[in-house]
Amino acid sequence: MLKSLNGETRGVMESTGNYHAAVAWLLHDAGFYVSVVNAVLVHDYGNNSLRRAKTDRKDAVKLENYGLHHWLTLPKYFPEGDTRLKLKTCYRQQQYSKL
């Protein structure tokens, strides 16, 4: 469905631990421009009234607006290589063994 859209299509998502990784990887492998941005940058973008109700829909619209505003400067996502993934796993295992 995404490939049938006219014009340039970019995927923008927040970096959420490892939850974003599978979708980012899938879109990247399908040939889409994907940008994974720090959640703090998106949170600090735009109107952050304390009275604003937080919902997934409003968060998605805010992320969309962030992506459109930064369209030309969005950092491109590249999947981590196998070596880096293995090193991260070893580090996590080491941290758990200290507990």
**Per-residue pLDDT tens over the stretch 48-96:** 655 566 788 888 888 999 999 999 999 999 988 888 778 878 888 888 7
> How far is it, in rounded angstroms, from Cα 31 to Cα 28?
5
User: What tokens were used for 17?
Assistant: 């631990």
Q: How confident is the model at residue 16 (pLDDT cuts 50, 70, 90)?
A: confident
* Cα separation values, 6 from 70, 76, 84, Å: 20, 20, 36
Percent of the chain scoring above 90 in pLDDT: 34
Q: Print the domain residue range for 17.
A: 2-97
Number of domains in the chain: 1
Q: What is the pTM of this model?
A: 0.72
In 17-51, which positions are buried (b, 16+ CB within 10 angstroms) versus exposed (e)?
Answer: eeebbeebeebbeeebebbbbebeebeebeeeeee
Neighbours of 79 (CB within 10 A): 14
Closest CA to 24 of 99, 62, 74: 74
